[in-house]
């Protein structure tokens, strides 16, 4: 390939990759155990972020993995669980390699029910667990009996009923998540830190179907209460939608667009559309933000979770201008700063989202399609809205804030892109 053809290739490839991303049609089509949805067999535990060796995992993720082993009944207690893991009898792997996106610790095991999202544009499927709610939950590294009990209830009652309901909606056509996200954006959600509008919208669609699917009104009431009581219920759906929309971009030769961003509590990793499955990693930073009473920045765990897929798809911090209340919550000072955050992200993106429009920005689309080149050129790194977990294992959520992707992984990706082009 001549250099000039290469240059034309980059522009065209980025246009193609961006079109794939923004024209994705993620539909919520099912909820069933990960064993069935993802083919997750045996003693496998998925975690958030780029690949991670057990010894290198932060204590919070380790605690969540041990809790998941107990939940699956592979060990009776943490000592037994740790034994299994260190002997290599539990296989760890990233959610992203198994078709899933996991929030915070991102733990998925075979019996956990997962939502299944199908991208109608490409047929790509992606999954995410049912959001457990706030506070002391597995995704934030909490690991007590109450956590395990909730997980068991989700598997036994909520998952099957939600699955039955979802399969009924629109005679099996599923729930159009892009339409919900576009609408929720206009109602003040950015789909990462704030999901109250999207959760309400999806609940409105689910409730009649749940009622029809339920044989037992007591079970229906419990599931309905659980869904209605969780403002972040939609987060995991936004993540599965994000993954189903960004995954098809991986492998668009020549594209410099970021297709994945994820953190595992030790490293921040990105994957680039034109560079396929390779991860480019750098040490992850600790988020800055606001803390629940009794906690301070001292207690915060380094950033983690696959939820940055929401930003990768043009929402979250990139859509901050649509969600001024979040801006204040994460330390920014209201609308002006929220707009600044979105405009800053526009400087490193390939385009504006044609379907996710921000009323307060004269209907401009959210910035979408992070360009590795623009990040390195400007030194402006992607901004991510995030929850903050405690670093002492078992603590759970201690606050919420913002984090920046480290520049080094984009620099490494740029060098790989340049090598790719020369060869």
Partner 1 sequence: MTTVALVKRSAYRDSVLLLDLARELRALPGVREAAALMATPANQELLAGSGLSSEDALAAGPNDLVIAIRAESAAAADLALARAEALVAARDRPVGPAGRALPRTLDSAWRRLEGANLALISVPGPFAAAEARRALLRGLHVMLFSDNVPVEAEIALKQLARRRGLLMMGPDCGTAYLAGVPLGFANAVPRGRVGLVAASGTGLQQVATLLADSGEGISHGIGVGGRDMSEAVGGAMALVAIDALAAEPATEAIVVVGKPPAPAVRAAVAARLRAAGKPAVACLLGRGARPGREGSLTIAATLEDAARAAVAAVRGHAWTPRPFGPEITGLRERLTSARRALAPGQRTVRGAYAGGTLADEARLILDAVRAGGPGVTSEIVDLGADEYTVRRAHPMIDPAARIAEIGRAAADPRTAVILLDVVLGHGAAADPAGDLAPALEAARRSARAHGRDIALVATVVGTDADPQGMRRQIARLEGAGAWVLPSNAQAARAAACIAGGEPALAAILAEAGA
Partner 2 sequence: MSEAASRVPALLAGELRVVNLGLQAFASDLERRGVAVLHVAWSPPAGGDLKRAALLAALDDEEDADA
Binding site for partner 1 (CB under 8 A): 340, 343-344, 346-347, 374, 377-380
Give which of partner 1, partner 2, none residue 343 binds (C-beta under 5 to 8 Å, depending on kind). partner 1
Among 150, 178, 263, 373, binds partner 2 (CB under 8 A): 373
Among 22, 66, 346, 417, binds partner 2 (CB under 8 A): 417
Short-list 239, 155, 158, CA closest to 198 = 239
Give which of partner 1, partner 2, none residue 411 binds (C-beta under 5 to 8 Å, depending on kind). partner 2
Give which of partner 1, partner 2, none residue 285 binds (C-beta under 5 to 8 Å, depending on kind). none
Q: DSSP string covering 87-106, please?
A: TT-SEEEEGGGTTB--STT-
Which helix (H) or strand (E) segment holds residue 4: the answer is: helix 3-22
Which residues does 15 contact at the CB level (< 8 Å), separation at least 6? none
Share in percent of the chain as helix, strand, coil (round to 5): 50, 20, 30
* Rounded (10°) CA dihedral 197, 369, 326, 266: 110
Short-list 325, 317, 367, CA closest to 347 = 367
Short-list 22, 194, 199, CA closest to 119 = 22
Short-list 245, 123, 239, 195, CA closest to 400 = 195
Distance CA 290, CA 407 (A): 24
Nearest CB to partner 1, comparing residues 290 and 380: 380
Distance CA 362, CA 343 (A): 13
- What is the Cβ-side half-sphere exposure of residue 279, based on CA atoms within 13 angstroms? 17
Q: Taking CB under 8 A as the rule, does residue 123 contact partner 2?
A: no
Nearest CB to partner 2, comparing residues 27 and 376: 376
3-state secondary structure at position 386: strand
Give me the least distance between CB of 347 and partner 1, in Å please. 5
Nearest CB to partner 2, comparing residues 78 and 411: 411
Nearest CB to partner 1, comparing residues 303 and 344: 344
Q: Taking CB under 8 A as the rule, does residue 421 contact partner 2?
A: yes
Give which of partner 2, partner 1, none residue 344 binds (C-beta under 5 to 8 Å, depending on kind). partner 1
Q: Taking CB under 8 A as the rule, does residue 293 contact partner 2?
A: no
Among the listed ranges 42-50, 193-201, 214-222, 415-423, the one in contact with partner 2 (CB under 8 A) is: 415-423
The CA-to-CA distance between both ends of the chain, in Å, stands at: 9
- Gyration radius of the chain's alpha carbons: 20
Nearest CB to partner 1, comparing residues 12 and 277: 12
Give me the least distance between CB of 395 and partner 1, in Å please. 32
Give which of partner 1, partner 2, none residue 340 binds (C-beta under 5 to 8 Å, depending on kind). partner 1
Among the listed ranges 40-48, 147-155, 179-187, 375-383, the one in contact with partner 2 (CB under 8 A) is: 375-383
Among 245, 246, 256, 264, binds partner 2 (CB under 8 A): 256
Give me the least distance between CB of 21 and partner 1, in Å please. 19
Short-list 375, 344, 340, CA closest to 360 = 340
Distance CA 341, CA 7 (A): 30
Which residues does 379 contact at the CB level (< 8 Å), separation at least 6? 407
DSSP label of 333: -
Q: Total binding residues for partner 2 by CB under 8 A? A: 19
Using CB under 8 A as the binding rule, the residues of this chain from 2 to 41 that contact partner 2 are 3-4, 7-8, 10-11, 14
Give me the least distance between CB of 249 and partner 2, in Å please. 17
Among 77, 144, 225, 377, binds partner 2 (CB under 8 A): 377
Give which of partner 2, partner 1, none residue 196 binds (C-beta under 5 to 8 Å, depending on kind). none
Q: Taking CB under 8 A as the rule, does residue 411 contact partner 2?
A: yes
Question: Footprint of partner 2 on this chain (CB under 8 A)?
Answer: 3-4, 7-8, 10-11, 14, 256, 373, 376-379, 411, 414-415, 417-418, 421
């Amino acid at each position: 390939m001549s250099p000039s053809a290469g240059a034309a290739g980059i522009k065209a490839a980025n246009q193609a990759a961006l079109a794939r991303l923004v024209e994705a049609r993620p539909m919520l089509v099912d909820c069933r155990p990960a064993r069935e949805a993802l083919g997750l067999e045996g003693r496998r535990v998925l975690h958030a972020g780029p690949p991670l060796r057990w010894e290198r995992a932060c204590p919070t993720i380790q605690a969540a993995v041990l809790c998941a082993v107990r939940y699956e009944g592979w060990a009776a207690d943490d000592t037994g669980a740790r034994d299994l893991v260190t002997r290599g009898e539990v296989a760890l792997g990233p959610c992203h390699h198994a078709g899933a996106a996991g929030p915070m610790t991102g733990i998925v095991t075979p019996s956990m029910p997962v939502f299944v999202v199908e991208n109608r544009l490409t047929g790509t499927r992606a999954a995410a667990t049912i959001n457990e709610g706030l506070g002391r939950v597995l995704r934030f590294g909490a690991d007590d009996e109450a956590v395990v009990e909730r997980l068991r209830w989700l598997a036994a009652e909520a998952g099957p009923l939600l699955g039955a309901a979802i399969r009924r909606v629109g005679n099996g056509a599923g729930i159009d998540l892009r339409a919900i996200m576009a609408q929720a954006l206009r109602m003040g959600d950015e789909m990462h830190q704030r999901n109250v509008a999207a959760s309400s919208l999806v609940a409105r669609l689910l409730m009649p179907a749940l009622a029809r699917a339920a044989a037992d009104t007591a079970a229906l009431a419990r599931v309905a209460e659980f869904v209605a009581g969780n403002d972040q219920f939609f987060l995991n759906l936004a993540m599965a939608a994000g993954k189903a929309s960004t995954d098809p971009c991986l492998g668009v030769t020549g594209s410099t667009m970021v297709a994945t961003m994820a953190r595992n509590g030790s490293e921040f990793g990105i994957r680039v559309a034109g560079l396929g499955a390779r991860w480019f990693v750098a040490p992850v930073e600790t988020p800055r933000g606001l803390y629940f009473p009794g906690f301070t920045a001292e207690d915060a765990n380094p950033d983690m979770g696959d939820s940055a897929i929401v930003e990768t798809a043009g929402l979250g911090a990139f859509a901050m201008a649509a969600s001024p209340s979040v801006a204040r919550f994460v330390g920014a000072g209201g609308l002006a700063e929220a707009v600044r955050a979105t405009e800053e992200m526009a400087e490193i993106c390939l385009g504006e989202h044609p379907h996710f429009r921000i009323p307060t920005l004269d209907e401009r689309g959210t910035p979408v399609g992070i360009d590795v080149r623009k990040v390195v050129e400007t030194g402006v790194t992607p901004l991510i809205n995030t929850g903050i977990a405690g670093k002492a294992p078992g603590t759970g959520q201690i606050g919420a804030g913002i984090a920046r992707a480290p520049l080094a992984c984009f620099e490494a990706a740029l060098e790989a892109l340049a090598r790719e082009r020369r060869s």
